[in-house]
Structure 1
Amino acid sequence: MSDVQKVAEAISRLIKERITPLPQFILKPLQEDGKNLLALEVSPGRSTPYYYKADGVMEAYIRVGNESVIAPDYIVNELILKGTNQSFDTLTTDAVKKDYSFTLLEATYLERTGLRFEPSDYVSFGLTDKNGLLTNAGKLMTDQHTVYNSRMFCTRWNGLEKGSIFDDALDDKEYEGNLIYLLNSGSEFIRNNSKVRFVKKAQYRVDKPDYAERAVTEALVNALIHRDYIVLGSEIHIDMFDDRVEITSPGGMFGGGSIQEYDIYSIRSMRRNPVIADLFHRMKYMERRGSGLRKIVSETEKLPGYTEAYKPEFTSTATDFRVILKNVNYNLEGDAHQVTHQVIELSTVSKQILAFCTTPKSKKELAVFCGFKDLRNFTLKHINPLLESGQLEMTIPDKPKSRNQKYITVRSE
């Protein structure tokens, strides 16, 4: 350009005339290869949203890929909250605390912290104001379903891709309500649709779960506390396939951009819902702020059979965030689970037996505990398969029919 000063003045004038509130910017003249250049630097602002106004129209824009598009209403609403230093979960509602119950919250808090949830905690934790009105965070923790968007849709698909929910779904569940209930339900859905495998050693067995339980919990907690609850008709989706689990939550990166642009080991934590995040941290669902994605990776890396091919993936757009957990027991080169060592899929009863037999138990004790009256059928269907697979053993193996015979779970390492 021949007249850098003139161009700089024109750009400066247009920014001041057409963008409100006025952003902080710097225009720097540069020279490169004998040419005069002008560099425009715009600093991140806190007075969001920033509007472009011209020809009687005022619109807010966001970046999607390589282009700028008009921001949807829900993103504008979130930008307004950010600009006024507020978040969705801190907003006070007209719901009165005494009209609702919090049994699950109080029981879970006691179980995980050893402390009782005191009446004063509702105010200090940001769940109510001093007048007893619930914040949105408080409404999300009631036993009743008071926030319509607090939902989770779970589907176990047959194969590697989505299909018809009627023809191609092996399991399909919809949950709604309290965030702790959603966390527990989502975890249970994934657990019930996963396979438990093991390698039998001489004196013990090595469990080979499809997914790391802690990684699943971290991914679900991340979805629940960082999702955008403003989007009408939105919900968290859990989609399970033969080779992976995809957990998708509404709302992109709170600070803008996409997760693909960042290094998860150095990314700065920005909390869309700070009250909910703080409460989950107090209940020890989160180890420390900002470490969730790293924890998902590190817990998955501990699984037997893990290689870099099974490393979790994180993707985001302007409208959603997705965590992909790979099934470490799935053969990436084949079209089915092919495990060269002994494999077993545990039934619910088998899991109950193994959990109960951490100390020696008699056959009768086991049958009563699991709700069976027919000892012979119970033995043939449930005890013998566990004995044969090496997951359960007799306390008196030389005398299988001894009246003092008991059973104990084989130690897992």
Structure 2
Amino acid sequence: MTMSDYVISIMTMRGTRQLVKELRASGSESTEVEVKSGLHGFPKSALETMSAFANGTGGTILFGLTDKTFRPVKGFDAQRVHDAVSNAVRSKLTPHPSVELSVEEFEGVRVVRADVEELPYFDKPCFVAAKGAYGGSYIRIGEGDHKLSEYEVSQLRDNRIQPGYDREPVENGNQDILHTQAVDNLLAKARARTPAAFSGVEPRIALKRLNVTHDSARRARPTLAGLLALGVYPQEFYPQLNVTFVAVPGTSLGEVDAGGVAFTDNQSFNGPIPSLINASVDAVRRNSNRAAIISAEGRRDVYDYPDVAVREAMTNALMHRDYSPYARGIQVQMELYSDRLEIRNPGGLYGGVRVEELGRVFTSSSRNAALAKLLEEVEMPRTGASVCENRGSGIARMAYAMQRAGKPAPEFRVTPTSVTVILRLAPAPSVPDAPPRSEEYVDVSGATKASDSREQQLIDLLARGRDPVTSQRVQDALCLSQSAANRLLRQMIDSGRVLPTAPPRSHRRAYVLAKGAVGAAVPDRVPSGRSLP
């Protein structure tokens, strides 16, 4: 062994010791670390875990430890498992993920460590070959491996190519379903901007070049992009390609006001994309506080959320959402809470865009290339300005508008099948956390946040209800990623202020306040018949 090999080995061993120390402290595995005993050889479930890590952002599997106490397994054959893992990666996973394997000395025995790297986006999904892509692709959620749905697999596969759903012709459609004035304005702008391609060209050809229509057997039909951008009423053909809006009196869905009202406003917006954007901005204004600023230039009304930020968020959601057949039954959803606005669209990030780059790097990777290009030319009804620039600058404008208004930077919550932008009224401290694996969550300001407020919010949440609260409920109420919520819960359990109602791997696991918890005096509400771990 060379000195460099020795240094690398020591660094890896120290990393393993630290991982096990954290596992023992928390009492459970995590989104990025899995433990397998391997006493009887290579466990088949390790294939699912490697698939999950490769489809997420990577992770580590430790073989030779018990999965409850994380102690060395007596009789573990490290070399046998090492060779089996190496063979499984090459022969049982497709495509083959990059896995760094090592046999290490740990507490007097040998264990096997497998570090699985994330696959490039254009190679995903990694799946168990014997089960096929749609039956054997997994993702890491919390401390478990979950099979990807057919829709999630389709999203990963769409990243390999440029989808063409927005170019598809609308069945039973004709040019009468397009708004005549909007079409005329588009053609006039196209002739002025690109005379070589559009000046003197008959409208039928010009609209085809602009991907507004699709010629089939000399019959021009609008494309999906043309219908969404210029249609009179696109929901005639795609009823769910609209926007829903709810205003909630509290900080989470399900809360009601003093009069028992769950939604203070509940709307569904229809029409082409320009109309949907205007209606969304109006709805946020209508349900926001308003202040008047008087200056030498006159009076200016200021709302909770800057119009520019809301408009850019909604434009991004409608332009970059998934329009595949899988997602045509899913709306873009707006939820206005007492402390934040959330805008969620179907479809994860497309192409090589990563969540940490949002708002920091001008990237323009369009899932719907024809629609994005068309919206550069389509005019907004009230101003005549283009719907978008299509330069990857929308998030930067959103962040700048929030900053000028004295608000926190936009945050993004990303899953394989959705993107949610969160605009807050005030900074929301969160628990310092490693980057989540199954769900990525970032504040584009990159600011470090404290945990005290989150702990009190969790105590308040548990004190309000009569029933135990699940991890999912904590995520929704406190607007945390799954990893951050689990970390917060573990900290509160360790401090003795929160009690779990079931063992870590139980699907019935929920949480209640311990007697004498700080900030609240509540009775012991652990359901009868359930033991604590």
Please, what TM-score do these two structures have when normalized by structure 2? Answer: 0.50
Q: CA deviation at 1:296?
A: 0.5
Instruction: Evaluate the alpha carbon distance shift between residue 103 and residue 16 of structure 1 in structure 2; reply closer, same or farther with a 3 A threshold.
Output: farther
Residues 287-322 of structure 1 deviation map (CA, whole Å, 9 limit, x = unaligned): 34222221101022223xx15xx3332222333322
Measure, in 1, the Cα distance between the counterparts of 2:172 and 2:225: 12
**Once the two structures are superposed, what CA deviation does each residue of 1:170-211 show, in whole Å capped at 9, x if it has no partner?**
322112342222222212222333344223346744543332
Q: Is the 8 A contact 1:258 1:318 kept in 2?
A: no
Partner of 1:231: 327
CA contact (8 A) 1:300 1:312 kept: yes
2 CA distance for matches of 1:24 and 1:324?
A: 33
Corresponding residue SS for 2:159:
helix
2:274 aligns to what SS in structure 1? Answer: helix
Q: Where does residue 148 of structure 1 map in the other structure?
A: 239
Task: Tell whether the 8 Å contact from 1:211 to 1:327 is kept in structure 2 after alignment.
Answer: yes
CA distance in 2: counterparts of 1:55 and 1:172, whole angstroms: 43
Once the 2 structures are TM-superposed, how far is the Cα of residue 143 of structure 1 from its aligned partner?
1.8
CA separation of 1:244 and 1:201: change in aligned 2, threshold 3 A: same
CA contact (8 A) 1:152 1:238 kept: yes
Q: Following the alignment from structure 1 to structure 2, what is the Cα–Cα distance between the partners of residues 137 and 88? A: 9
Cα gap change, 1:63 to 1:112, in 2 (>3 Å): farther
Establish whether residue 295 from structure 1 lines up as the match of residue 397 from structure 2.
yes
Q: Secondary structure at the match of 2:423?
A: strand
Are the equivalent residues in 1 in contact too, given 2:359–2:399 (CA < 8 A)? no
Q: Is this contact kept in 1: 2:411–2:422, CA < 8 A?
A: yes
Q: CA 1:226–1:158 in 2, change beyond 3 Å: closer, same or farther?
A: same
Could you say which residue in structure 2 is the equivalent of 1:320? 418
Mapped pair 1:77 → 2:159? no
Query: Measured at CA, do residues 45 and 218 of structure 1 come closer, stay the same or move farther in structure 2, by a change above 3 Å?
Result: closer
Residue identity matched to 1:17? S
The equivalent residue for 1:178 is: 272
When residues 186 and 53 of structure 1 are mapped into structure 2, their CA distance, relative to the original with a 3 A threshold, is same
- Maintained 8 Å contact 2:103/2:113: yes
Change (3 A) 1:108 1:212: farther
Q: Distance in 2 between matches of 1:223 and 1:288?
A: 13
Give 1:238 deviation, angstroms.
1.7
Change (3 A) 1:243 1:113: farther
Give the whole-Å Cα distance in 1 for the aligned partners of 2:189 and 2:304.
26
Q: Which residue of structure 2 aligns with residue 270 of structure 1?
A: 365
The Cα shift of 1:160 comes to: 4.3
> Are residues 55 and 197 of structure 1, via their aligned partners in 2, closer, same or farther at CA, if it must alter by over 3 Å?
closer
Q: Quote the sequence identity (%).
A: 26
Which of 89, 104, 122 in structure 2 is aligned with 1:46?
122
Of 206, 209, 212, the residue aligned with 1:124 is 209
Amino acid at match of 1:197: A
- Superposed displacement of residue 150, structure 1: 0.6
CA contact (8 A) 2:187 2:206 kept: no
The 8 Å contact of residues 274 and 387 in structure 2, kept in 1 or not, is answered as: no
More strand by share: 1
Q: For residue 223 of structure 2, what is the amino acid of its counterpart? A: T
- Structure 2 match to 1:354: none
The change in CA–CA distance for 1:40 and 1:321 in structure 2 (over 3 A counts) is closer
Q: How many residues align?
A: 323
Map of 1:18 onto structure 2: 92
Q: Deviations over 1:108-167 (max 9, x none)?
A: 647988969943343223333332344332343422322233121112333544446982
Greater Cα shift, 218-227 or 261-270: 261-270
> Equivalent residues in 2 for 1:5-404 (5 A)?
10-20=84-94, 22-23=95-96, 25=98, 41=117, 43-44=119-120, 46=122, 48-54=124-130, 58-64=135-141, 67-92=144-169, 94-98=171-175, 100-103=177-180, 105-106=182-183, 109=186, 118-131=203-216, 132-141=220-229, 142-144=231-233, 145=235, 146-162=237-253, 163=255, 167-201=261-295, 204-205=298-299, 207-229=301-323, 230-231=326-327, 233-255=329-351, 259=355, 261-262=356-357, 264-266=359-361, 268-283=363-378, 284-303=386-405, 306=406, 310-327=408-425
Structure 1 gaps of 5+ residues are 334-413
The verdict on how the C-alpha distance between 1:196 and 1:129 changes in structure 2, with shifts beyond 3 A counting, is same
Which protein has greater RCO, CA pairs closer than 8 Å, 6+ apart?
1
How much has 1:218 moved relative to structure 2? 0.3
2: CA distance, partners of 1:41 / 1:318: 17
Local SS of the residue matching 1:184: helix
